[in-house]
Structure 1
């Protein structure tokens, strides 16, 4: 039986045909070094799966919903360490070694700093604020490339089956085991959310939704509000 990989990279997708090939091509060096690449598709209506298949270790179909897709990928993964990566996010050089070193030092989970790509002048400020807030609170977002041991994932019960804030809730659960390893190496993530929705409008929307979540609002209600505004 083949030796299980140390790291499994899990990418949830939904209609990402325009970018999935570039994302997976960027990860081929990690795959050649032994990482497992799992694409978990939530029912794309374009040719995401066809484009991903030659470049991934496996392409899995799942019920739609980022949390459900990431959980399905984790259950199918063979690696001892799990990295959850958005389809529009790219890893920095040496990411696999940085993850291994952070987890070997006794942390159960962590995330990278983030850099946002795009033309809007506020994007560097937004990324700085995201990274600083994450260090202060110990809460990470999916844009930052969440990684963890398989044991930590299981102890947390996986990502909560909710349509929004699943990364926030997962961070809360993982913090019960350890503070996150906040790596200064930066993943590069598309700033399309802020550019398409308007930078200030999106910032205010996300802060308002987070505030309501901390006050106990239903994730289903928050998801409806998010979709309505977008």
Structure 2
């Protein structure tokens, strides 16, 4: 089974080397496509010619959709630049695909020893199981045909992963593979753990109520 690992980048020189080392350790058949939204730092030079790079209009949705168009994998895995996978991650996805699943994500754990960040990870995993909502930092994957069936990544400046899950869960069960993805807690540490968690819940509630997406995006930038 061929995988296409798609990573949107924008000025990620501090994180990209660790991701490159992590990707190199993965087992399975895969290509990696970095979709860059206009990095001004050393991100692209660090990647070099190790993997395919495509240039895209800024914005995660735009960048992921641009990369998907040139991908060749049977399964697309959308990965954040500050996330780390276990070596058997792709093999674990393949197991789920062979069992009949078409969409899923990983079990998330944050790179922090804080008990509150551990609780945040537990709640994030419960959200997938109970509400069928997966966020981008959990490493969303899907079969290529499913990607096109739902119209790709929703073209939104924010909440694209939330809206994607809402669309996917109408027809598919979003599974979690038996493998962990370790994700940076920098956003929570910078903004304050409780404050950031509360603001994210508020933004999701605003989105469900139909608040203008540009207003939500402005507030999200304040969170980051």
TM-score, normalised via structure 2 length: 0.96
Q: How does 1:65-144 map to 2 (within 5 A)?
A: 65-144=59-138
Structure 1 counterpart of 2:48, from 35, 47, 53 = 53
Cα RMSD after superposing both structures: 1.4
Q: What SS does the corresponding residue of 1:27 show, helix, strand or coil?
A: helix
Match for residue 17 of structure 2? 21
Match for residue 162 of structure 1? 156
Whole-Å separation in 1 of the counterparts to 2:101 and 2:29: 22
Alpha-carbon deviation of 1:53?
Answer: 2.2
Alpha-carbon deviation of 1:105?
Answer: 1.6
Whole-Å separation in 1 of the counterparts to 2:223 and 2:24: 37
Contact 1:8–1:80 at 8 Å: present in 2 too? yes
Q: What SS does the corresponding residue of 1:103 show, helix, strand or coil?
A: helix
Moved more, 63-72 or 88-97: 88-97
Q: How does 1:151-190 map to 2 (within 5 A)?
A: 151-190=145-184
Structure 2 counterpart of 1:214, from 184, 188, 208 = 208
Alpha-carbon deviation of 1:55?
Answer: 3.0
Contact 1:25–1:55 at 8 Å: present in 2 too? no
2:4 aligned with 1:8: yes
Aligned length: 224
Alpha-carbon deviation of 1:146?
Answer: 0.1
Whole-Å separation in 1 of the counterparts to 2:57 and 2:106: 28
Where do 5+ consecutive residues of structure 2 fail to align?
Answer: none
Whole-Å separation in 1 of the counterparts to 2:13 and 2:70: 23
Alpha-carbon deviation of 1:93?
Answer: 2.4
Q: What SS does the corresponding residue of 1:7 show, helix, strand or coil?
A: strand
Whole-Å separation in 2 of the counterparts to 1:38 and 1:74: 9
Whole-Å separation in 1 of the counterparts to 2:74 and 2:63: 19
2:218 aligned with 1:224: yes
Alpha-carbon deviation of 1:29?
Answer: 2.9
Whole-Å separation in 2 of the counterparts to 1:29 and 1:199: 31
